[in-house]
């Protein structure tokens, strides 16, 4: 089969690889009908996530048709059209039973967190969905039937970014009349803006360094925007225009923010987990007693983390990997009812064999790229 594989730093190639096979009675094999490139895929190709072997299949946002099912699978059968949540979860451990699906105790023998598709050995070694086929373990727990009335493009983002953006806003406790700052206007940030409005926020300020992303947020959501390039200190500027800071700041940037020279050196030496520029903006942009929610992905340890700034101002910090399974059904209902539409963030549609181009466009922010969907 064809698949997008990692072959080194910023080296993604379309290759012919072996088809996946049933390895456990609860496995299914899915023929992928739609997949997409996520911002966190860029962490992988930039070498920010350790233990990613060359030749590893990328991608954790995928859906498709069940082609084969293990003899122990009762929830899916051949021909079913399914959405595949990106955390790999057993459904039996304490964490799964308490809704913490992304912290499954049985899906990742290589680390403390649960398994994830397409994220290398550190997260269980489950090859990803940017391919013609994918093996899905624990199929009695993970895959969700896609309603006939929803197209692939309507359903695909239920695998990750729709739940993740919702989770980020929900963690912040956004409510009626709140002022909310969304840091980052990539795919997750664009959707977080929508969820903040859905949850009743009175004032929403989207922050990014790219005008085309800010324009998209304004065009589709009618909110305020701040370009960090226009200000010497964006955090202080936001604090000023909000009269002391926002009630909630949702960080949808993570370690993708712009790095200082020292951060670049430390990251190259594996002494730093990437940029913390969004953290520093959040520390200033949130009001006293407010909440900062980290929906963006962060790496390992961070030097000069502004913990004292958060402590001094009684800031609540919330973060984590979204337990996607918990949110698929409720968000699916909102899509079916016409309350939520995420398809407007799709700027590029490409066949899988042009997936390397998709990575280039997304990584280099070319052609006003926000979200790339691939069709095998």
Predicted pLDDT of residue 276 = 82
Q: Where in the chain is the domain with CATH 3.40.50.720?
A: 164-319
Predicted pLDDT of residue 304 = 78
Residue from 171, 83, 158 nearest 324 by CA: 158
- Whether 323 shows a pLDDT value over 90: the answer reads yes
- Cβ atoms 290, 316 nearer than 8 A: yes
The tokens of 134 are what? 């994918």
Predicted pLDDT of residue 222 = 77
88-112 residue pLDDT tens: 999 999 999 999 999 999 999 998 8
Mean pLDDT for 260-280 is 69
d(Cα 235, Cα 239) in Å, to the nearest integer?
Answer: 6
What is the CATH code of the structural domain delimited by 2-160+323-375? Answer: 3.90.180.10
Query: Which string of DSSP letters, residue by residue, matches 139-159?
Result: TTTS-EEPPTTS-HHHHGGGG
- Decide: helix, strand or coil at residue 201: coil
Beta bridge partners of 225: 206
Which residues have CB under 8 Å from 264's CB, separation 6+? none
| Residue given tokens 């969004």 in the structure block | 278
Residue from 283, 285, 284, 265 nearest 275 by CA: 265
Predicted pLDDT of residue 324 = 97
**How many CA atoms are closer than 13 Å to the CA of 58, on its beta-carbon side?**
30
Distance of CA 207 to the CA centre of its chain: 18
Predicted pLDDT of residue 312 = 96
121-146 residue pLDDT tens: 999 999 999 999 999 999 999 999 99
pTM of the model: 0.95
Say which range, 187-196, 251-260, 341-350, has the weakest mean pLDDT: 251-260
CATH tag for 164-319 (out of 3.30.70.270, 3.40.50.880, 3.40.50.11540, 3.40.50.720): 3.40.50.720
Angstrom distances, CA of residue 12 to CA of 92, 186, 320, 364: 36, 21, 27, 14
d(Cα 181, Cα 159) in Å, to the nearest integer?
Answer: 25
Q: Where in the chain is the domain with CATH 3.90.180.10?
A: 2-160+323-375
The tokens of 193 are what? 């803006």
Beta bridge partners of 2: 16
The vertex-303 CA angle with 262 and 110, nearest 5°, equals 110
Residue from 86, 117, 34 nearest 324 by CA: 86
């Amino acid at each position: 089969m064809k698949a997008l594989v990692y072959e080194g730093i910023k080296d993604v190639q379309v290759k012919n690889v072996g088809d996946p096979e049933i390895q456990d009675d609860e496995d299914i094999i899915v023929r992928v009908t739609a997949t997409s490139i996520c911002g966190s895929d860029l962490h992988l190709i930039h070498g920010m996530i350790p233990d990613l072997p060359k030749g590893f299949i990328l991608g954790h946002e995928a859906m498709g048709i069940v082609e084969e099912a293990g003899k122990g699978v009762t929830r899916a059968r051949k021909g079913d059209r399914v959405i595949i949540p990106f955390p790999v979860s057993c459904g039996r451990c304490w964490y799964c039973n308490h809704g913490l699906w992304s912290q499954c105790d049985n899906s990742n023998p290589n680390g403390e967190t649960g398994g994830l598709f397409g994220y290398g050995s550190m997260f269980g070694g489950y090859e990803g969905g940017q391919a013609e086929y994918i093996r899905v373990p624990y199929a009695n727990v993970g895959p969700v039937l896609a309603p006939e009335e929803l197209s692939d493009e309507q359903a695909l983002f239920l695998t990750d970014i729709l739940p993740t953006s919702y989770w980020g806003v929900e963690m912040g406790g956004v409510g009626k009349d709140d002022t909310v700052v969304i840091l980052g206007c990539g795919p997750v940030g664009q959707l977080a803006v929508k969820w903040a409005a859905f949850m009743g926020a009175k004032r929403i300020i989207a922050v990014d360094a790219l005008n085309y992303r800010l324009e998209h947020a304004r065009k589709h959501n009618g909110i305020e925007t701040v370009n960090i390039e226009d200000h010497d200190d964006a955090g202080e500027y936001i604090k000023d225009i909000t009269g002391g800071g926002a009630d909630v700041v949702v960080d949808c940037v993570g370690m993708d923010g712009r790095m200082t020279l020292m951060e670049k050196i430390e990251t190259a030496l594996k002494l730093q987990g990437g940029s913390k520029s969004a953290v520093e903006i959040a520390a200033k942009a949130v009001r006293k007693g407010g909440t900062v929610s980290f929906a963006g992905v962060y790496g390992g340890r961070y030097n000069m983390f502004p913990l004292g700034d958060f402590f001094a101002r009684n800031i609540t910090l919330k973060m984590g990997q979204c337990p996607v399974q918990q949110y698929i059904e409720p968000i699916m209902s909102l899509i079916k009812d016409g309350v939520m539409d995420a398809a407007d963030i799709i700027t590029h549609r490409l066949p899988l064999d042009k997936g390397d181009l998709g990575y280039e466009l997304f990584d280099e922010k070319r052609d006003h790229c926000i979200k790339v969907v691939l069709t095998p």
